[in-house]
Amino acid sequence: MAQLNAQGQPYEDETPEPEAPAPASQASGDALDDLLAEIDGSLQVNAEQFVRSFVQKGGQ
Amino acid sequence: MIPTDIPPPLDVDPARRIFGLETEFGLHLDSAAARAVTPEEVAGHLFHSVVQWGRSSNVFLTNGSRLYIDVGAHPEYATAECDTLTDLIAMDKAGERIVQDLVAGGEERLRAAGVEGEIHLYKNNTDSAGNSYGCHENYLVRRRADFKAFASALLPFLVTRQIATGAGCITRTPQGAHYSFSPRADHMWEGLSSATTRSRPMINTRDEPHANAELYRRMHVIVGDSTMAEPTTLLKVGATDLILRIMEARAVLPELALAREMQAIRDVAHDLTGKATVELEDGRRLTAVEVQQTYLDLVRSHLDGVIERTEEVDAILDLWQRGVDAVRTQDFTLVETELDWAIKHRLITRYRDRLGCDLADPRLARLELAFHDVSPERGLFAKLQAQGLVRRIVPEDAIVAAMSRAPETTRARLRGEFVTRALESGRDFTVDWVHLKIAGSSGTTVLLKDPFRSEDARVDALLDALATA
């Protein structure tokens, strides 16, 4: 795991370099980043509690 | 007068097969007051509108499919009988929307009961406590005396196909987290069995053909993952059908019997590099890539023989080969818009990089649930499709039509028409996979034993009786 600075963010030089996408998937890579940016806020709200609260009995 | 003559079974082309998919959805109430209600109560609220029109939480729909609450309070949708893969995919996708359409009403009833929250429905196979529920594939096969041996011969294929058709998942262990091909693999305990919740076999051998039992049997495959992307479903069912066609033609199969299937399915699931080997009964060790390539080559060797070459067969073989190549070469971009495990892997990897976290981070588990959430607003999958990040196969209007209309070319057409007209008439009726009956109509029950038959004078007479009532 990357070391964190005082603000809880990874140190700049330890942030993994984004992979250089192949030219063909450049556009779709951008679309994916845009989508993740869009949903990022809602996914981060109480993520752990949200996931833990999903418990069902087993089915078949 | 309703004719009682049962028509003789149709003479059916061996390439024609009846398919069905049964999906158990994960049901999740996200609410601060979630502990005030049991999962059974949430399911009850969700199905309130169904009970209103169907007088039961176990109904057949106008599209010929079945909707009910299964063991463990899982909403379950079983598609009508389909005899083409595109019909099957349309029916399967229609089912996601049919269950999602229950959510708003369920939330409203919960609110009225003092529980404010959101209901999420996941087309996945595990909850966060490690409970598993299934996606069952049904293939109608011609009856034969050696069914157990026949079914066993399919196991090496089923154990290894997850490298192409698995849903992919983050597996958490005390040693850390890693990405696996199939969430279902760890929940399999037997190859064949007639039990399901007690023993969890890969193939359930309960003899329940829902058809003329002298002619047919059902191959009930319960090892597969629920699949989101249409191409993944095409490959999951399409490749399995091609192997079954070769087996049904009694062609010679490659010797691939596995020494320990339960160990093999786990070893394959947890090795994304594709280098893990499985032990064969004859002592050889092969990778899942090698086993799948052997099956792929087998199918190719029967093209224009046992297997008629069609555009759809070519599309299945092309995707299958790219799936196997993606694992062999570790170039996942080969299938990153078509196969669930690769679509999810790309999504999770990108989000992990964005957050700078490791795979065990709960935000990535949250992302996984969003991927499988069938809601077009709260879920992620619909957004991925809209952005062109997931390829589609079936036109949108075919999926919308499949929500209310049954497939035209199978028995489902008769059932769908009957349910539609019976609901319009307001008469009480009973229906299941093989029976249709108008309540109180001198007790005439129409028995539909041939799933390939889409026209039947006895059903026409029933429909007339409904129209004149």
B332, part of any domain: no
| pLDDT for the residue B14 | 86
B423, part of any domain: yes
| pLDDT for the residue B196 | 64
| CA quadruple B70, B72, B73, B79: dihedral sign | negative
Domain extent, residue B458, equals 412-468
Q: Do B356 and A52 touch (CB under 8 A)?
A: no
| pLDDT for the residue A21 | 44
> What is the total count of domains within chain B?
1
**A25 has a pLDDT exceeding 70:** no
For residue B157, the SS3 value is helix
Residue-wise pLDDT for B326-374, tens only, equals 999 999 999 999 999 999 999 999 999 999 999 999 999 999 999 999 9
pLDDT category of residue B200 using cuts at 50, 70 and 90: confident
Look up the ipTM and state it. Answer: 0.91
Mean pLDDT across B416-437: 96
Mean pLDDT across B388-413: 98
Contact present, B402 and B430 (Cβ < 8 Å) = no
Residue B221: partners with Cβ closer than 8 Å, 6 or more residues away: B136, B137, B138, B139, B154, B158, B202, B203, B240
Nearest alpha carbon to residue B233 among B387, B92, B368, B22 = B92
Q: Do A51 and B362 touch (CB under 8 A)?
A: yes
B169, part of any domain: no
Name the amino acid, one letter, at B66. R
Mean pLDDT across B1-17: 81
B131, part of any domain: no
B365 neighbourhood in chain A, CB within 8 Å: 47, 51
In angstroms, what separates the C-alpha of B197 from chain A's closest C-alpha? 5
Output the six-digit token pair for A22: 């192949």
Q: Do B222 and A58 touch (CB under 8 A)?
A: no
Output the six-digit token pair for B140: 């109608």
Backbone angles phi, psi at B201, to 5 degrees: -85, 170
B221, part of any domain: no
C-alpha pair distances (Å), B104 with each of B98, B121, B193, B400: 12, 12, 39, 19
B424, part of any domain: yes
Pairing of strands B169-173, B135-142: unpaired
pLDDT category of residue A3 using cuts at 50, 70 and 90: very low
How far is residue B197's CA from residue B315's CA, in Å, rounded to a whole number? 35
Pairing of strands B176-180, B169-173: antiparallel
The secondary element (H helix, E strand) that includes residue B98 is helix B85-100
In angstroms, what separates the C-alpha of A13 from chain B's closest C-alpha? 12
Known catalytic membership, residue B70: yes
Mean pLDDT, chain B, integer: 95
Mean pLDDT across B447-451: 96
pLDDT category of residue B432 using cuts at 50, 70 and 90: very high
B269, part of any domain: no
B454, part of any domain: yes
| pLDDT for the residue B194 | 85
**B66 has a pLDDT exceeding 50:** yes
Mean pLDDT across B270-286: 97
How far is residue B469's CA from residue B458's CA, in Å, rounded to a whole number? 17
How far is residue A3's CA from residue A17's CA, in Å, rounded to a whole number? 15
How far is residue B83's CA from residue B85's CA, in Å, rounded to a whole number? 7
